């Protein structure tokens, strides 16, 4: 199988879009923009972790528990051990969930399809119970409140601008890691997505790549957990319920599950839509529901997938091709 | 000893409710191969249907329950015919569809009835006593209704031609279709029966527990747990597992405190899912 990184244009655009949000803190002071953008970027990271698993045809509910592991690890380290350096915290938020994924992978990745969905769902429920049952470590139902501002080279990142900049930075890292993984192993992932049994029979050691994908997905979730804890200034079980996994799945599916760009667009659009509805925030769930149903029934590839199909059709359409049925009709004459 | 018996009775009642829910859930999975994330939604719908019929239309409670059963059954049937049927073989698509439906249902209930739990109580009060063991009348009625419904479902599945057709489809869709079973008629029917069971459970349980737009979440979780324990798609397995889960939950909340028992149960289920995905009692019914 051919190796070598191939960065698609879509990945490049996704990277530029996310990186461009770093300008926002220098352009506006609008708090509504800050909070929406923060949520959108966290949504993008979480959705990317779903996307990476979907590249292997695995629908995961395990994003919130890994976010919880990353977020709580950072909160515990910085609150108990006074470690505030952003790079250390970022590494902890990435590698702790990764470690959990390495331990869980051999168990969970034996399953496919429906069973994988169920096992990740059960995992997210278990995580909630564990958080409630370990009050000494995680603060139980109170969570860990009063997350101190992280520092970069000794400068404290406590104001709104730097909170947003930190989230942007984490998202850029997440996009790069995801683009690198899915780009370098594009064919391996595609082979697993297409037909795992066939891929295995052709000599692909699938558990290598499935474990890798799972680990990367977990690490990216952890980064999202860090950003979330930093934004809310606390780690709380209610931030990581299995229901939130549904949102991240919705972002991915609505935006376009096949590409990073689609995933990012879906997350950004849905978060902005929810925030713009503002006072009618209670409608957002139903809106997600309707969008998911519509996308599944009408636009299978999501926003970017449908756009790509449309472009392709427009390119081809100038000369109507002879369809097989027409040929068949002529043959009958 | 009395608290032991008391907890046992609560466990059996819980088990009967779980059985009703899980039977519907497992029916849909066994026959259609669809994981119904909207199952909790139909439970909520059943509760609100019954509530609206009693408080807005002034109907007697038993009629309201009947309406809730019919209402949720018809909605389930419609949902299958109109939406699920289009992509019934794509497990990811159907999962997303039912997820979407669940969000729409719980949001619709929130918009129509508001976030507060409405005042909806069981029409029977009164308790029976034997020694120091108390059983409420409502509890007994629920238990009776659950057992009748479970019995009726068993008769439907194992003693009628329709049930045989459904089981044939669950066994091997290709062969059953070739023998003249019609999935396009039977799938919606099975879906409707299953959602009607969820609606029935909602209509009789929510007045005892509580009714609000998001009570479907824990229902979905316990359906998952029961069905995985019993083996996805297995009817007998779901029934036995429901009572096991109900009894474990009841005793662990008395003797261990709520969450610890639940955690043990969840971890068991996780391990079971990994090492024996066809459940404690089941054989492999359907490759997912």
8-state DSSP, B118: P
Q: How sure is the predictor about B284, in pLDDT bands with cuts at 50, 70 and 90?
A: low
Distance CA A66, CA A219 (A): 8
A115 closest CB neighbour out of B217, B266, B277: B277
Q: Do B270 and A293 touch (CB under 8 A)?
A: no
Distance of CA B168 to the CA centre of its chain: 22
pLDDT band for position A195 (50/70/90)? Answer: confident
How many C-beta atoms surround the C-beta of residue B81 within 10 A?
17
Please state, in angstroms and rounded to a whole number, the distance separating the CA atoms of residues B231 and B279. 4
Which residue among B96, B224, B267 sits closest to A126, beta carbon to beta carbon? B267
A333 pLDDT band, cuts 50/70/90, is very low
| Residue owning tokens 């972790």 | A49
Do A60 and A32 contact (CB within 8 A), yes or no? Answer: no
Task: Round to whole Å and give the CA distance between B199 and B65.
Answer: 9
Residues of chain A neighbouring B228 (CB-CB closer than 8 A): 118, 122
Best of B92, B256, B268 to mutate (most A CBs within 10 Å, chain A): B92
**What ipTM describes this predicted complex?**
0.84
Tokens of B41: 């939604």
Q: Is B252 on the interface with A (CB under 8 A)?
A: no
For B95, the closest of A59, A132, A297 (CB atoms) is A59
Residue of B nearest to A127 (CA): B263
The reported pLDDT for the residue numbered A94 is: 93
Q: Is the pLDDT of residue A190 over 60?
A: yes
pLDDT category at A278 given cuts 50, 70, 90 is: low
DSSP-derived secondary structure for A116-158: HHHHHHHHHHHHHHHHHH-HHHH-GGG-EE-PPPPEETTEE--
How far lies B69's CA from each of B37, B72, B123, B205, in Å? 19, 5, 18, 13
**Residue B252, SS3 per DSSP:** helix
Residue of A76 and B231 predicted with greater confidence:
A76
Tokens found for residue B181: 């079973």
Percent pLDDT > 70 in chain A is: 91
Closest CA to A102 of A262, A217, A19, A6: A217
Pairing between strand B127-130 and B133-136? antiparallel
Average pLDDT over residues B106-117: 86
* pLDDT level of residue A157 (50, 70, 90 thresholds): confident
- Going by pLDDT thresholds of 50, 70 and 90, the confidence category of residue B282 is low
pLDDT tier at A66, thresholds 50, 70, 90: very high
Which tokens in the block code for residue A106? 């051999």
Task: Please provide the DSSP assignment of B156-213 as one string.
Answer: HHHHSHHHHHHHHHHH-HHHHHHTT--HHHHHHHHHHHHHHHHHHHHHHHTTTS---T
Please state, in angstroms and as integers, the Cα–Cα distance from residue B228 to each residue in A121, B23, B151, B278, following that order: 12, 12, 22, 8
User: DSSP string of B82-101?
Assistant: HTGGGGTT-HHHHHHHHHHH
CB B231 within 8 A of CB B278: yes
Chain Cα centroid distance, residue B125: 25
The whole-chain average pLDDT of chain A stands at: 83
Rounded to an integer, what distance in angstroms lies between the CA atom of residue B238 and that of residue B232? 8
pLDDT at A11: 81
Angle of CA points A230, A34, A80, to nearest 5°: 10
Question: Any idea which of A230-234, A314-318, A321-325 has the lowest mean pLDDT?
Answer: A321-325
- Using DSSP bridges, classify how beta strands B133-136 and A234-235 pair: parallel, antiparallel or unpaired: unpaired
Q: Rounded mean pLDDT of A303-322?
A: 74
3-state class (DSSP) for residue B232: coil
| Chain A: residue whose CA lies nearest to B275 | A107
CA distance B144 to chain A (A): 31
Among the listed residues A4, A20, A51, A63, the one whose alpha carbon sits nearest the alpha carbon of residue A243: A63
State the Cα–Cα distance between residues A64 and A287, nearest whole angstrom: 21
Q: Where are the alpha helices (DSSP H) in chain A?
A: 9-20, 24-27, 31-54, 63-81, 86-108, 113-133, 135-138, 160-184, 186-194, 196-201, 206-232, 242-255, 260-277, 284-297, 302-316, 324-332
Please, which contacts does B82-91 make with residues 24 or more away whose CB atoms are closer than 8 Å? B83/A293, B83/A297, B84/B32, B84/B34, B84/B187, B84/B191, B85/B184, B85/B187, B85/B188, B86/A297, B87/A296, B87/A297, B88/B32, B88/B33, B88/B34, B88/B183, B88/B187, B89/B33, B91/A113, B91/A114, B91/B33, B91/B34, B91/B35, B91/B288
Chain-centre distance for alpha carbon A54: 10
Residue A279 CA, chain-centre distance (Å), reads 27
**Half-sphere exposure of A3 toward its Cβ, with a 13 Å CA cutoff?**
3
The span from the CA of A276 to the CA of A157, in Å, is: 28
Length of chain A in terms of residues written? 333
Using an 8 Å Cβ cutoff, are A25 and A169 in contact? no
* CA separation for the pair B84, B93 (Å, rounded): 9
Q: What is the mean pLDDT of chain B?
A: 85
Could you tell me which residue, B270 or A48, shows the higher pLDDT? A48
B264 to chain A, any CB pair closer than 8 A? The answer is no
Check the CA dihedral B105-B111-B113-B117 and report its sign.
Answer: positive
Cβ of B270 within 8 Å of Cβ of A123? The answer is yes
SS3 A34: helix
When mean pLDDT is compared across A91-95, A147-151, B257-261, the lowest value belongs to B257-261
In chain B, what are the helix, strand and coil shares in percent, each to the nearest 5? 75, 5, 25
| Cα of B3 vs its chain's centroid, Å | 28
10 Å Cβ neighbour count for A329? 10
pLDDT per residue as tens digits for the range B151-194: 999 999 899 988 888 888 888 888 888 888 888 888 999 999 99
A254 CA: distance to closest CA in chain B (Å): 11
Strand B127-130 and strand A151-152: pairing? unpaired
* B212 part of contact set with chain A, CB < 8 Å: no
Please tell me the predicted confidence (pLDDT) of residue A74: 92
């Amino acid at each position: 199988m051919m190796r070598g990184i191939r960065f698609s244009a879509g990945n490049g655009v996704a990277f530029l879009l996310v990186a461009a949000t770093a300008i926002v803190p220098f352009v506006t002071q609008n708090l509504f923009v800050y909070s929406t953008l923060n949520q959108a970027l966290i949504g993008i990271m979480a959705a990317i972790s779903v996307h990476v698993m979907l590249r292997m045809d695995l629908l995961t509910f395990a994003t919130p528990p890994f976010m919880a592991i990353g977020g709580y690890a950072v909160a515990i380290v910085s609150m108990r051990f006074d470690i505030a350096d952003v790079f250390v915290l970022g590494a902890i938020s990435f590698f702790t969930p990764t470690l959990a994924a390495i331990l869980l992978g051999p168990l969970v990745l034996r399953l496919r399809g429906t069973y994988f969905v169920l096992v990740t769902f059960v995992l997210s429920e278990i995580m909630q119970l564990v958080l409630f049952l370990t009050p000494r470590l995680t603060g139980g139902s109170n969570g860990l409140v009063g997350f101190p501002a992280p520092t970069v080279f000794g400068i404290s990142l406590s104001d709104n601008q730097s909170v947003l900049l930190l989230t942007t930075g984490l998202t850029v890292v997440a996009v790069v890691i995801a683009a690198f993984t899915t780009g370098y192993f594009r064919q391996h992932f595609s082979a697993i997505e297409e037909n795992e049994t066939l891929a295995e029979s052709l000599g692909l050691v699938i558990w290598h790549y499935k474990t890798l994908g799972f680990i990367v997905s977990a690490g990216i979730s952890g980064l999202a957990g860090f950003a979330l804890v930093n934004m809310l200034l606390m780690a709380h079980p209610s931030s990581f319920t299995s229901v939130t996994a549904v949102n991240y799945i919705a972002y991915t599916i609505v935006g376009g599950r096949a590409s990073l760009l689609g995933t990012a667009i879906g997350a950004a659009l849905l978060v902005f839509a929810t925030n713009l509805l503002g006072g009618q925030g209670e409608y957002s769930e139903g809106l997600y529901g309707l969008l998911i149903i519509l996308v599944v029934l009408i636009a299978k590839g999501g926003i970017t997938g449908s756009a790509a199909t449309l472009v392709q059709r427009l390119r081809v359409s100038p000369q109507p091709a002879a369809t097989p049925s027409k040929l068949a009709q002529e043959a009958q004459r | 000893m009395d608290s032991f018996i008391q907890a046992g009775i609560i466990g059996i009642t819980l088990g009967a409710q779980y059985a009703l829910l899980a039977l519907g859930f497992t029916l849909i999975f066994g026959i259609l191969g669809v994981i119904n994330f909207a199952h909790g939604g139909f439970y909520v719908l059943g509760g609100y249907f019954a509530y609206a019929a009693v408080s807005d239309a002034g109907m007697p409670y038993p009629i309201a329950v009947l309406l809730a059963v019919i209402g949720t059954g018809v909605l389930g049937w419609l949902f299958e015919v109109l939406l699920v049927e289009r992509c019934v073989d794509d497990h990811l698509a159907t999962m997303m569809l039912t997820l979407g439906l669940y969000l729409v249902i719980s949001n619709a209930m929130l918009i129509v009835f508001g976030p507060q739990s409405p005042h909806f109580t069981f029409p029977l009060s009164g308790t029976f006593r034997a020694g120091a063991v108390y059983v409420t009348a409502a509890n007994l009625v629920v238990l009776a209704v659950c057992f009748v419904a479970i019995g009726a479902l068993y008769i439907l599945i194992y003693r009628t031609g329709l049930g045989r057709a459904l089981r044939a489809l669950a066994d091997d869709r290709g062969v059953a279709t070739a023998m003249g079973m019609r999935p396009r008629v039977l799938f919606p029917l099975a879906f409707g029966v299953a959602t009607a069971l969820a609606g029935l459970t909602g209509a009789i349980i929510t007045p005892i527990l509580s009714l609000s737009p998001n009570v479907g979440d824990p229902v979905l979780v316990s359906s998952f747990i029961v069905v995985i324990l019993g083996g996805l798609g297995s009817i007998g397995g779901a029934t036995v597992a429901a009572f096991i889960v109900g009894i474990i939950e009841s005793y662990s909340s008395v003797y261990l405190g709520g969450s610890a028992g639940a955690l043990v149960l969840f971890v068991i289920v996780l391990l079971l899912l990994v090492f024996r995905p066809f459940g404690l009692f089941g054989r492999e019914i359907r490759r997912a």
